[in-house]
Amino acid sequence: MHNIIPIFVIIPLAGAFLTSLIGKKVKGVPDMLGNLSTACLLIASLLSISFVSKCGVLVYKVGAWVPPIGITMVMDGFTSFMLVTVNLVAFLVTVYSVNYMEKFTSKWTFYTLFLLMLAGMNGVIVTGDMFNLFVFMEIASVASYALVAFGTEEEELEASFKYLIMSTVGSLFVLLGIVFMYSYTSTLNMADMAAVLTQKGAGNITLFTGVLFLMGFGLKAAIVPFHAWLPDAHPSAPAPISAMLSGVLIKSLGIYTIARIFYNVFGMGAKFTEVLLIFGALSMVVGALLASGQWDFKRLLAYSSISQIGYIILGLAIGTPLAILGALFHLFNHSVFKSLLFLNSGALEYATGTRDMRLMGGLKEKMPVTGRTSFIASMSIAGVPPFNGFFSKLIIIFAAVQAGYIGYAFLAALVSVVTLAYFATVQKNVFFGSPSGALTASDGKVTKKWDDIKEPPVFMKVPVIILAIICIFGGLLIAPRFSQNFLKAATDALMAGKDYAATVFGGLGL
Amino acid sequence: MLLYFLCLVLFSIGIFCILRKRNLIKIIIGIIIAEYAVHLFFALVGYRAEGRSPIFTPSENIFNMVDPLPQALVLTAIVIGLAVTAMMVAIAIRIYDKYGTFDITKIRKLHG
């Protein structure tokens, strides 16, 4: 049963290899291989939930080396939760790319890089080894640099270079942190590291490496002091990649790693809690304020990602079971509605040829599917009651009050209102309002005639509809029946703290 | 001790290059320098005073040998560094094609 774990790395790697091998020659193969791989991954990740609920923690020994000597891959509730999130978005994004990527010349390069990035992300999530985590992180990052620059226009290259430099510096800090951790504990296995830290006592070196990891992974997650690359990089990528980057990449490389290392390896301390609380609140506020002033649709979404990441970090920092449940639920919800919004922005760009919201208006009639789904997503991200975003924000705010952080709870509620304000502006400018007849650029040139605007092709509609349905019914995930194996299992895995070591070594026998 | 200190100096030079230089190529060189400083530090962590190479021979008893694991990891890290550097240089070349300059103050199409 533990043989399912390496599948999450093998399928995308094999898919990438095959796509690069035969995709160039045979037309249609890249689409097929890409969608097939992600569909298999989605099924496997759903299966992994039932496996974890049946057998507890699964451990796979790479090359049959016994840990702590060899590399292990670990699957607990948190892992399978993240895998479902990542692979769900990845599958819908590849379906969307079938039509969207037509306008680019080399589809096979796109799918190769996409699958490599997916392999990196899945690898980060399943691995139980510190250095292996770094390697997978770099695989995902290098693929994402190339994907951001995919259009090879001036802005895209510039954004990609900025992203590349900042992210590489982040990786350096992570590597440095791993070096310090290795020199202190003489092991690279995360479970063993946690055990050694408990035994030796976490001294100042844990604090120091904690700071290094916070810088490194914080850069990947775009928490506020380290966020400068995100508003450039995410809008510059093609829409499906923006959806992947904002939807899941920053979460699997940033949030997941922070949560896993700080909770399960270091054991959350008061000092880390304080720092993460401040960073979370800062991201929340700064992201929302910067987003309100944007006219570029994708740039606004990118800033709003920073703001929502702040919520997740805040929830993780508070650290009560309820807060972590809320944070993880918000993580899932955010990846759903943010990827939906980015896919919508892609559809808008596809239909109108612009991203400037001042030029749009009244598109609701011309593009009913895009209009309705983006309305659902906007209301969901702003936390309006029937949608999933409301429940996760409510849980986080409630948990903050319960834990005595009244100020942070107030801030979270306030930012939610700001979010509602700027998404209402988006809806008003883009989809409602009076049709402007034609989209006119600032220099008076007509970019697109009103009659030419129409709904995008079918493969671009199906994924957004599915995502919108998840947005509407996502709130049900906290119902005890559904959350038991999904959200609850993930929260329990994090709340176990340093017992992670014992459970991993206990899971070896299976 | 001196070696560790020199490592820190090297790392600082790299970070300084990344932060202060205006030429894309110099920024790339800064990253490479900082990266090498980390690699060197990693190799130093495995060093034991008076240690010998970690090769097992049945004929003699080994008392003090250097830790071989960091060396293997550094090799991996160098390969990753190669990929990242290749990516950086490739993008820098494309930027030069588009903008005709390596000066980051002139490469400012993005707003905000």
Distance from CA of A473 to the nearest CA of B (A): 36
Distance from CA of A154 to the nearest CA of B (A): 6
Structure tokens at A390: 């409301």
Report pLDDT for A439: 58
Burial bucket for residue A199 (CB in 10 Å: 0-12, 13-18, 19+): exposed
**Do residue B35 and residue A299 have CB atoms under 8 angstroms apart?**
no
CB count within 10 Å of CB B90 equals 14
- pLDDT surpasses 90 at A41: yes
**Do residue A157 and residue B94 have CB atoms under 8 angstroms apart?**
yes
Matching residue, tokens 């070349």: B93
Greatest alpha-carbon span in chain B: 68
Domains of chain B listed by start with CATH number: 2-50+65-99 (1.10.287.3510)
Q: Quote the distance between the C-alpha of residue A162 and its chain's center.
A: 20
**Do residue B45 and residue A179 have CB atoms under 8 angstroms apart?**
yes
**Do residue B76 and residue A131 have CB atoms under 8 angstroms apart?**
yes
Report pLDDT for A119: 94
Instruction: List Cβ neighbours of A140 (8 Å cut-off, separation of 6 or more).
Output: A116, A117, A119, A120, A121, A123, A124, A249, A252, A253
- Mapped onto helix, strand or coil, the DSSP state of residue A128 is coil
**Mean pLDDT, chain A, as a whole number?**
87
Q: Quote the distance between the C-alpha of residue B38 and its chain's center.
A: 6
Report pLDDT for A66: 81
Average pLDDT over residues B81-93: 93
Average pLDDT over residues A126-147: 93
Report pLDDT for A509: 57
**Closest B-chain CA to A142:** B84
Position B109: which residue type?
A: K
- pLDDT surpasses 90 at B10: yes
Residue B105: list chain A partners with CB under 8 A. none
Report pLDDT for A441: 54
Strand-pair partners of A84? none
Q: What residues in chain A have their Cβ under 8 A from chain B's Cβ atoms? A: 131, 134-135, 138, 142, 145-146, 149, 152-155, 157-162, 164-165, 168-169, 171-172, 175-176, 179, 182-183, 188, 231-232, 236, 294, 299
- Mapped onto helix, strand or coil, the DSSP state of residue A506 is helix
- Mapped onto helix, strand or coil, the DSSP state of residue A328 is helix
Report pLDDT for B5: 92
Nearest to A112 by CA among A150, A76, A84: A150
**Closest A-chain CA to B11:** A172
Q: Are strands A58-61 and A438-440 parallel, antiparallel or unpaired?
A: unpaired
Of the partner residues B18, B34, B92, the one whose CB lies closest to the CB of residue A161? B92
Q: How many CB pairs under 8 A join A and B?
A: 85
Confidence of residue B26 (pLDDT cuts 50, 70, 90): very high
Matching residue, tokens 């001042």: A358
- pLDDT surpasses 80 at A257: yes
ipTM of the complex: 0.94
Residue B35: list chain A partners with CB under 8 A. 168, 172
- pLDDT surpasses 70 at B93: yes
Instruction: List Cβ neighbours of B29 (8 Å cut-off, separation of 6 or more).
Output: B17
Report pLDDT for A100: 86
Confidence of residue A76 (pLDDT cuts 50, 70, 90): confident
Q: Quote the distance between the C-alpha of residue B1 and its chain's center.
A: 20
Percentage of chain A surpassing pLDDT 90?
Answer: 41
For the stretch A319-354, pLDDT in tens is 888 999 999 999 999 999 999 999 998 888 888 877
- pLDDT surpasses 60 at A437: no
Confidence of residue A139 (pLDDT cuts 50, 70, 90): very high
Cα–Cα distance for residue pair A330/A316, rounded to 1 Å: 11
Report pLDDT for A436: 61
For the stretch A261-296, pLDDT in tens is 999 888 877 888 999 999 999 999 999 998 888 888
The CA–CA distances, whole Å, from A165 to A42, A233, B15 equal 32, 12, 11
DSSP A255-298: IHHHHIIIIIII---HHHHHHHHHHHHHHHHHHHHHHHT--BHH
Report pLDDT for A389: 87
Percentage of chain A surpassing pLDDT 70?
Answer: 95
Report pLDDT for A449: 63
- Mapped onto helix, strand or coil, the DSSP state of residue B103 is strand
Residue boundaries of the structural domains of chain A: 276-478
- A86-90, A154-158, B41-45, B49-53: least confidently modelled range: B49-53
For the stretch A194-244, pLDDT in tens is 888 888 877 788 899 999 999 999 999 989 888 888 888 888 888 899 999
For the stretch A4-35, pLDDT in tens is 889 999 999 999 999 988 888 888 888 888 99
Instruction: List Cβ neighbours of B111 (8 Å cut-off, separation of 6 or more).
Output: none
B61 shares contact with chain A (CB less than 8 Å):
no
For the stretch B32-82, pLDDT in tens is 999 999 999 999 988 887 778 877 778 777 778 888 888 899 999 999 999
Report pLDDT for A91: 94
Confidence of residue A155 (pLDDT cuts 50, 70, 90): confident
Report pLDDT for B84: 93
Structure tokens at A378: 């906007």
Nearest to A8 by CA among A245, A192, A191, A252: A252
- pLDDT surpasses 80 at A260: yes
Cα–Cα distance for residue pair B103/B112, rounded to 1 Å: 19
- pLDDT surpasses 70 at A382: yes
Residue A168: list chain B partners with CB under 8 A. 31, 35, 84, 88
H, E, C per residue of A141-155: HHHHHHHHCCCCCHH
- pLDDT surpasses 70 at A249: yes
CB count within 10 Å of CB A393 equals 25
Distance from CA of A219 to the nearest CA of B (A): 15
Cα–Cα distance for residue pair A317/A274, rounded to 1 Å: 7
For the stretch A442-461, pLDDT in tens is 555 555 566 667 777 888 88
**How close are the terminal C-alpha atoms of chain A, in Å?**
8
Structure tokens at A377: 């997503």
Matching residue, tokens 């700001």: A418
Nearest to A219 by CA among A263, A176, A179: A176
Alpha helices in A321-405 (DSSP H): 321-352, 363-366, 368-382, 388-402
Q: Is A351 left (phi over 0), alpha (psi -120 to 50) or beta?
A: alpha
Q: Which residues of A50-72 are buried (b: 16+ CB within 10 A; e: fewer)?
A: ebbeeeebbbbbbeeeebbeebb
Strand positions, DSSP E, chain B = none
Structure tokens at A334: 């955010």
**Mean pLDDT, chain B, as a whole number?**
88
Backbone φ, ψ for residue A292 (5° rounding): -65, -25
Confidence of residue A160 (pLDDT cuts 50, 70, 90): very high
